């Protein structure tokens, strides 16, 4: 799967949404200190700019050099290429020492990880007991009834056979994902917190977003073009119905958040 993300790096950076300020303000309100944040699976750095405005230092890691090429360059953000599998000593050398991070974040990537191993690394790096882990995913774009109807058909009939099984965790809005962290407020709940990202897009930007999905890329690897001229014509027709070239596209976001506690 990593090779697919390398090949789609440019499209991913160009078309994926930026996350809302309210999301980061809420997460930051749960960390007593704002010294160091680690953004894992940062991709092209969609979360980094917002984290860097709140935390003194941000280390952002990914296994794809092509993705990191598109990340924003900021004075207090350090990008680190990491191997897919790391030991705790490698984490300390490449990322951060034990019990040094106030926050670990994963944006739209947690469902790809080997969770037991990854959570061990998270708990090793976070400060005890109040270090926070926050992971979120976003689901399908919402434009208007005409475009969304074409998308639903494309998603189920065309993309459906090419999604990795990890996609089910996103479709479930991270409700069923393993999450061994203590509640930051009140009672532990499997219900994710809801936010939304919005991005103004033209037709070409929207189609670029569709081409950036892992299922589309998997089909292309098999020699199949899912966005056929006929399919593109359907999207174009639905896009033109309201006469507006640019539209606000909404991406529902689902956040899981917890603190590390005293355990290891």
Please, is 229 exposed, middle or buried when counting C-beta atoms within 10 Å of its C-beta (0-12, 13-18, 19+)?
exposed
What are the C-alpha distances in Å from 34 to residues 115, 124, 235, 261? Answer: 25, 18, 44, 17
Looking at the DSSP assignment, which residues form a beta bridge with residue 132?
Answer: 103, 259
d(CA 86, CA 80) in angstroms, rounded, equals 13
Output the pTM of the full model: 0.91
Give the span between the Cα atoms of 167 and 215, in whole angstroms: 9
Query: Residue 198 pairs with which residues in a beta bridge?
Result: 250
Q: What angle do CA 165, 167, 172 make, to 5 degrees?
A: 115
User: For tokens 């998997």, what's the residue?
Assistant: 218
Contact partners, residue 19, CB within 8 Å, separation at least 6 = 46, 47, 50, 107, 136, 195, 197, 253
Going residue by residue through the chain, which has 264 residues, state the pLDDT in tens, using 9 for 90 and above: 444 444 454 555 556 688 999 999 999 999 999 999 999 999 999 999 999 999 999 999 999 999 999 999 999 999 999 999 999 999 999 999 999 999 999 999 999 999 999 999 999 999 999 999 999 999 999 999 999 999 999 999 999 999 999 999 999 999 999 999 999 986 556 789 999 999 999 999 999 999 999 999 999 999 999 999 999 999 999 999 999 999 999 999 999 999 999 855
The CATH class of the 2-141+165-199+250-259 domain is alpha beta
């Amino acid at each position: 799967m990593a090779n697919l993300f390398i090949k789609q790096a440019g499209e991913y950076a160009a078309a994926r949404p930026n996350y809302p300020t309210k999301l980061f303000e809420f997460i930051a309100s749960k960390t007593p200190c704002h010294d160091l944040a680690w953004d894992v699976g940062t991709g092209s750095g969609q979360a980094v700019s917002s984290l860097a405005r709140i935390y003194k230092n941000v280390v952002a890691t990914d296994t794809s050099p092509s993705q990191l090429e598109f990340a924003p360059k900021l004075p207090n953000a350090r990008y680190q290429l990491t191997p897919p599998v790391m030991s705790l000593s490698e984490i300390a050398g490449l990322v951060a020492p034990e019990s040094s991070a106030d926050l670990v974040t994963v944006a739209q990537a947690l469902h790809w990880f080997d969770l037991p191993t990854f959570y061990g690394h998270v708990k090793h790096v976070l400060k005890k007991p109040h270090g926070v882990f926050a992971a979120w995913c976003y689901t399908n774009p919402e434009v208007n009834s005409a475009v969304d109807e074409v998308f639903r058909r494309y998603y189920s009939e065309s993309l459906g056979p090419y999604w990795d099984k990890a996609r089910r965790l996103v479709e479930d809005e991270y409700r069923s994902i393993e999450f061994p962290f203590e509640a930051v407020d009140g009672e532990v709940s499997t219900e994710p917190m809801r936010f939304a990202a919005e991005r103004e897009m033209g037709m070409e930007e929207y189609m670029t977003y569709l081409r950036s999905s892992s299922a589309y890329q998997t089909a292309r690897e098999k020699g199949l073009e899912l966005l056929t001229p006929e399919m593109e014509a359907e999207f174009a027709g639905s896009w033109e119905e309201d006469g507006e070239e640019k539209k606000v596209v909404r991406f529902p976001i689902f956040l899981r958040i917890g603190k590390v506690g005293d355990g290891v």
